[in-house]
Amino acid sequence: MLEIREKLILSRPLYLKDDDCGYCHHKKSQKEAISVQSWSDYYALNHQNQTETPPSISIGFQVENMTVEHYDQLINRGFRRSGTFLYKPDMLRGCCRMYTIRTNMDMFKLTKEHRQTVNKFNKRIGIEGGQDVKGKNGYDLMKELRKMDDSGKLVIKFEPSKFTKEKYKLFTKYQNHVHDDYKTSEKSFKRFLCDTPFSQNDAVIKDNKVLKFGATHQCYYLDSKLIAIGFLDILPSGVSSIYLIYDPDYRDLAMGKISGLKEMELTKKLGLDYYYLGYFIEDCPKMNYKRKFGGELLNLTDLTYHKLDDISDYITNGKYCAINSKNENIVEDLYGINSKEFLKAKEYSDKWPGISYSDVDNSVLITNSDDNSTPYDIPTVIPGVTSLETLFENWNTNQIKSLVFADGMIRPAIYDLETATIRKILIDTIRILGQGLANDAIIFI
């Protein structure tokens, strides 16, 4: 058995709705906010008086402990972390489609705008002799980025994911001036950007080598003054960007763009494969900078990645897409009104041994946040969550290796002996995490 610190220790899965979406701020029309065209048409036709739009919806876990390897797998199943909270959007029912996006130097398309930004930055910190931005003789991006480190003016340090007064001061200044947010507190800063669920704690990087994976604060000092921090996770398959803050007095340095390039450079220097930029939302203007990094999006249906350029037609106007092995968009077949997945879910929810899924109504897509549902009602059909059919057809209760923390003790979950509540938690956890990760799990009941 794995040692406790190698376990994925987490709460039961939660299904969370929030009317205050940080991306669209609940300003989309119903038509714009609904994920799939046939559902959108259905609501326009049949619910003309009902104009409510979906809330922001995610599946989440509070995580007490996990390894970087766990998190690496979770990112590639569409999850992200905020402090010690793990979440992934319900791509069907929420207001915004949040696609996992990743890139690297090979997929990146260098534009004149990037070259200008880099040259301007270097000139501003006293580095002369930038290459021609028109790129006629080629433009060696890595060389220009390296000059920043060699200049002596800019010093970039990897610091532990720990609270300091200096970092908090910069965070407050950034939130006040850039996001009009005057409600910062030391506690919220720690919870959002310092706390990590990793058993390995902080990353250790030395001479462009990863000595230990984990979280890190990439701190940018200009003439010894802290001007920006990139909050990063250094994972086996790549560098994951969580957040960036910068000093608004240095707005002209375009730290948002520069830090993205430096993080992509870091990925390459460390010999890692991907730079994870978080989520990409096609109809959110704030995300346009991510498009400029090129890269690929996660297809939740089979957990494969597809080039953003190849599928940009499928995701236009913020729609959800599901791609098959022939690169076709089969979203209507799978998730359209009366589609296969919904019919199958209805059929299999009645078959499920020992518990009832029938209380979950799949005939509606818009669910209000103020209805009577509990945060435990995970719908039967969610993209990227194993279907009841697949689980049922491969079902063998002996395969359950999850442990449960219940009544003050940790014990193996024995499906046939569990209560209906615990059975549902086990099934939902396996469906959401996948069998492999669920095997490592200790679930707080």
Binding site for Zn ion (CB under 5 A): 21, 23-24, 95-96
Give the amino acid at 134. Answer: K
- As given in the structure block, the two tokens for residue 19 are 């009317």
Residue 15 phi/psi, 5° resolution?
-120, 110
Query: Rounded to the nearest whole angstrom, what is the least distance from the CB of residue 94 to Zn ion in the complex?
Result: 7
Query: Rounded to the nearest whole angstrom, what is the least distance from the CB of residue 54 to Zn ion in the complex?
Result: 8
How would DSSP label each residue in 103-121?
E-TTT----HHHHHHHHHH
In the complex with Zn ion, the residue whose CB is nearer, 95 or 170, is 95
Query: Rounded to the nearest whole angstrom, what is the least distance from the CB of residue 310 to Zn ion in the complex?
Result: 25
User: In 47-183, at which residue ranges do the beta strands (DSSP E only) sit?
Assistant: 56-65, 80-82, 85-89, 99-103, 154-159
Report the residue number whose CB is nearest to Zn ion: 21
In the complex with Zn ion, the residue whose CB is nearer, 31 or 153, is 31
- As given in the structure block, the two tokens for residue 174 are 């950034």
In the complex with Zn ion, the residue whose CB is nearer, 37 or 324, is 37
In the complex with Zn ion, the residue whose CB is nearer, 40 or 386, is 40
Query: Rounded to the nearest whole angstrom, what is the least distance from the CB of residue 300 to Zn ion in the complex?
Result: 18
Query: Rounded to the nearest whole angstrom, what is the least distance from the CB of residue 20 to Zn ion in the complex?
Result: 9
Residue with tokens 């599946």: 59
Sign of CA dihedral 194, 195, 196, 200: positive
Residues 6+ apart with CB under 8 A from 440: 2, 6, 7, 8, 70, 401
Query: Rounded to the nearest whole angstrom, what is the least distance from the CB of residue 367 to Zn ion in the complex?
Result: 15
Q: How far apart are CA 127 and CA 123, in angstroms?
A: 5
In the complex with Zn ion, the residue whose CB is nearer, 15 or 246, is 15
Is 54:34 a contact under the CB 8 Å cutoff?
yes
Query: Rounded to the nearest whole angstrom, what is the least distance from the CB of residue 381 to Zn ion in the complex?
Result: 20
Is 54:367 a contact under the CB 8 Å cutoff?
yes
Query: Rounded to the nearest whole angstrom, what is the least distance from the CB of residue 27 to Zn ion in the complex?
Result: 9
Query: Rounded to the nearest whole angstrom, what is the least distance from the CB of residue 354 to Zn ion in the complex?
Result: 36
Residue with tokens 């930004």: 117
In the complex with Zn ion, the residue whose CB is nearer, 172 or 369, is 369
In the complex with Zn ion, the residue whose CB is nearer, 24 or 426, is 24
Sign of CA dihedral 396, 397, 403, 404: positive
In the complex with Zn ion, the residue whose CB is nearer, 91 or 194, is 91
- As given in the structure block, the two tokens for residue 271 are 């010999």
Residue among 260, 318, 255, 330 nearest 294 (CA): 260
Q: What is the CA radius of gyration of the chain?
A: 23
Q: How far apart are CA 90 and CA 163, in angstroms?
A: 32
Residues 6+ apart with CB under 8 A from 140: 131
In the complex with Zn ion, the residue whose CB is nearer, 58 or 218, is 58
